[in-house]
Structure 1
Amino acid sequence: MPQKQKSRSWTELKQAGNECFKTGQYGEATSLYSQAIKELEKSSKKNPEDLGILYSNRAAAYLKDGNCGECVKDCNMSLELYPFNVKSLLRRAAAYEALERYRQAYVDYKTALQIDCNIAAAHDGTNRMTKALTEADGPSWREKLPPIPTVPLSVREKLSQQTAANTAKQNPAPQHNGTRQTHKPAPSDKDIKKAQALKEEGNALVKKGEHQKAIEKYSQSLKLNPTEITTYTNRALCYLSVKRYADAVRDCDEALVIDSSNIKALYRRAQAHKELKDVNTCVDDLNRLLKVEPKNSAALKLLQEAQKKK
């Protein structure tokens, strides 16, 4: 009699699904993740987080295959089991975007940025959605958005620690210049005081025109307190002075995650986009700024210059 084949555990099925996903066999990956979900649901050691990750993995395979409706369903299930899982939020956002459900996509991108304010895909997605929604709904597009959930601090801390641990495993080498750090838990009072002192040293260097040295001080300050808006906008000013325009954009993005109508961040990002020859985005930023402060003379002047280049 033929020997009965031993059934694979959910972890083996998940691993096999991961291998198929890596080689672009998305249909096979979907099938393997489905089997893994069934096995784990039968198991007495069922863990909601593990199950949430399996649904998120299958969602990624659906997304790659262009099956956005199923991707959204799996992300919904994943987020019920594993609330605020960044990968599920980003996958659902991408699926919503493909389905032209831009408001829901915007909310997911913004929620992901609350957990880790350095996710480039979420920044880019937020910018794309802002543009699409402004075109579709006009200046009052924010009023039509569904509510953006507030990510509890305890969740942010837990997820940022996990992300940091994963980053350490994948990138044992130290990261440089502080612009791509993982989001940290809320800083202590001691760190806030040290960060403030470093920021003031940076401000003094700016007054002397020593922008490169000021960047170093602001970077040290942001490592201790990554939630201080003015340190980002001050460093952005220095990046503009040393012609590091893409870095200036990133710093303004960070500031705008914390305060979406920050005048300095919008103005400096517009300046950087103009230098990067991205005139349309420069004009978008200035129009946003002028909705907040209609008589801002510097913005009005820059807008005139930018529109001549269109």
Structure 2
Amino acid sequence: METLYSVGNLWNVHENGAMTQKTKVKCWLELKQAGNDRFKAGQYGEATHFYSQAINQLKKDSPKNVEDLSVLHSNRAASYLKDGNCAECLKDCNVSLELVPFNIKSLLRRAAACEAQERYRRAYVDYKTALQIDANIAAAHDGTNRMSKALAEADGPTWREKLPPIPTVPLAVREKMGRRCAATSQQNGATQSHKPAPSEEDVRRGRALKEDGNALVKRGEHAKAVDKYTQSLRHDPAQAATFTNRALCYLSLRQFHDAIRDCDEALNIDGANVKALYRRAQAHKELKDMKACMDDLRKLLEVEPTNTAGIKLLRELQKK
């Protein structure tokens, strides 16, 4: 078994110029581990100090090791965020994402820092970008919901038009990051399932089947449209619009429980989806669950306060 050096001894060996490549790796890795230990203990200032040393050491020893350097900047960003230093957190997240674009942890930490600074548009974009990579991230869903409400209050019903562009995550990146998330989940004993990102062919086929379903809806053939939307979702299951379209068909077919399930799925993907909230409210109304119906309408109007259909249905219920 190889002897593990203490952080102090490693630095002494380096200063004496007698450090092998293997020992160099141990040096920054142990500095990183020291930072991790301090972070877990809630000693964020000390964690920042050790991460900074690890970054400097790795830059000297392996400047082309961009993945590990990105992780170190992301870790230091987490320490800064815990200490309330959002400005430094943002700097580290930006460096991390320049080194390795679409690093999920860096996206989420940058979103949290932007949210703390009330830069809600930027935070919304980062949360939504993270969801492209892994649609199961609860923190990203919750963040998207909070930002949607805050932006609707600040900018009114046209808030989406004022957003910066949301970058499209390349398929190769989605697949790579998705595999990492799945591996991390297994290592941590997590039970949450992570579905692999659909291929470009699946996305193309799913879109074509969705369009076929839309054409059938226009002709009033809702049962046939349900079949097309179901086939579409087999190819591309992360499309909220396909779920809300199928929910519309279920409403027309008076399959209200199915409509609610589809709206739930759409809201798991996009917690601020107005169509899902409205159609779920309609289904609850038909099932005589007026409390659930009104709850959905209130949530809808928090996201889009001037939604005419939502206002009309809520007033109708209040009169009753």
| Same fold at TM > 0.5 | yes
1:5 lines up with 2:28 in the alignment: no
State how far apart, in whole Å, the 2-side matches of 1:120 and 1:283 are.
23
Deviates more, 1:73-82 or 1:11-20: 11-20
The answer as to whether partners of 1:235 and 1:251 remain within 8 angstroms in 2 is no
**1:303, CA displacement in angstroms?**
2.2
Partner amino acid, structure 2, of 1:44: S
Correspondence for 1:252 among 266, 279, 286: 266
Aligned-partner SS, 2:265: helix
State how far apart, in whole Å, the 2-side matches of 1:73 and 1:60 are.
11
Partner amino acid, structure 2, of 1:111: T
Aligned-residue RMSD, C-alpha: 3.9
Instruction: Write out per-residue CA displacement over residues 178-227 of structure 1, whole angstroms, 9 at most, x where no aligned residue.
Output: xx5345232765xx79xx9xxx9xxxxxx9xxxxxxxxxx7x99676423
Question: Relative to structure 1, is the Cα distance of residues 280 and 77 closer, same or farther in structure 2, using a 3 angstrom cutoff?
Answer: same
1:72 lines up with 2:90 in the alignment: yes
**1:304, CA displacement in angstroms?**
1.9
Question: Relative to structure 1, is the Cα distance of residues 226 and 141 closer, same or farther in structure 2, using a 3 angstrom cutoff?
Answer: same
Q: Could you say which residue in structure 2 is the equivalent of 1:137?
A: 155
State how far apart, in whole Å, the 2-side matches of 1:278 and 1:229 are.
17
The answer as to whether partners of 2:297 and 2:314 remain within 8 angstroms in 1 is no
Question: Higher relative contact order at CA 8 Å, sep ≥6: structure 1 or structure 2?
Answer: 2
Correspondence for 1:185 among 195, 198, 202: 198
Alignment of 1:1-310 (within 5 A): 5-7=9-11, 9-44=27-62, 46-171=64-189, 175=192, 181-186=194-199, 225-229=236-240, 232-233=243-244, 250-254=264-268, 256=270, 263=275, 265-270=276-281, 275=292, 277=295, 280-284=298-302, 287=305, 290=307, 294=308, 296=309, 299-304=310-315
State how far apart, in whole Å, the 1-side matches of 2:155 and 2:190 are.
46
The answer as to whether partners of 1:232 and 1:255 remain within 8 angstroms in 2 is no
Unmatched segments (≥5 aa) in structure 1:
201-206, 208-217
Question: Relative to structure 1, is the Cα distance of residues 232 and 278 closer, same or farther in structure 2, using a 3 angstrom cutoff?
Answer: closer
The answer as to whether partners of 2:266 and 2:273 remain within 8 angstroms in 1 is no
**1:154, CA displacement in angstroms?**
1.6
State how far apart, in whole Å, the 1-side matches of 2:164 and 2:238 are.
25
Aligned-partner SS, 1:184: coil
Aligned-partner SS, 1:138: helix
State how far apart, in whole Å, the 2-side matches of 1:183 and 1:132 are.
32
Partner amino acid, structure 2, of 1:64: K
Instruction: Write out per-residue CA displacement over residues 137-160 of structure 1, whole angstroms, 9 at most, x where no aligned residue.
Output: 122222222221111112111111
Question: Relative to structure 1, is the Cα distance of residues 223 and 9 closer, same or farther in structure 2, using a 3 angstrom cutoff?
Answer: farther
Instruction: Write out per-residue CA displacement over residues 49-91 of structure 1, whole angstroms, 9 at most, x where no aligned residue.
Output: 1101100010011111111111111100100001011110110
Partner amino acid, structure 1, of 2:278: Y
Q: Could you say which residue in structure 1 is the equivalent of 2:227?
A: none
Instruction: Write out per-residue CA displacement over residues 257-294 of structure 1, whole angstroms, 9 at most, x where no aligned residue.
Output: 8xx8673x232455679529576424335747x3xxx5
Instruction: Write out per-residue CA displacement over residues 239-270 of structure 1, whole angstroms, 9 at most, x where no aligned residue.
Output: x9669x8x77651224548xx8673x232455
The answer as to whether partners of 2:243 and 2:263 remain within 8 angstroms in 1 is no
Deviates more, 1:180-189 or 1:27-36: 180-189
Deviates more, 1:130-139 or 1:299-308: 299-308
Instruction: Write out per-residue CA displacement over residues 85-133 of structure 1, whole angstroms, 9 at most, x where no aligned residue.
Output: 1110110000000001111111111111111122111111111111111
State how far apart, in whole Å, the 2-side matches of 1:22 and 1:80 are.
26
Aligned-partner SS, 2:10: coil
State how far apart, in whole Å, the 2-side matches of 1:150 and 1:63 are.
26
The answer as to whether partners of 1:123 and 1:253 remain within 8 angstroms in 2 is no
The answer as to whether partners of 1:27 and 1:65 remain within 8 angstroms in 2 is yes
State how far apart, in whole Å, the 2-side matches of 1:274 and 1:68 are.
40
TM-score normalised over the length of structure 1: 0.71
Aligned-partner SS, 1:20: helix
Unmatched segments (≥5 aa) in structure 2:
1-7, 12-25, 214-222, 224-229, 285-289
Instruction: Write out per-residue CA displacement over residues 31-56 of structure 1, whole angstroms, 9 at most, x where no aligned residue.
Output: 11111101110113641111011000
State how far apart, in whole Å, the 1-side matches of 2:194 and 2:134 are.
9
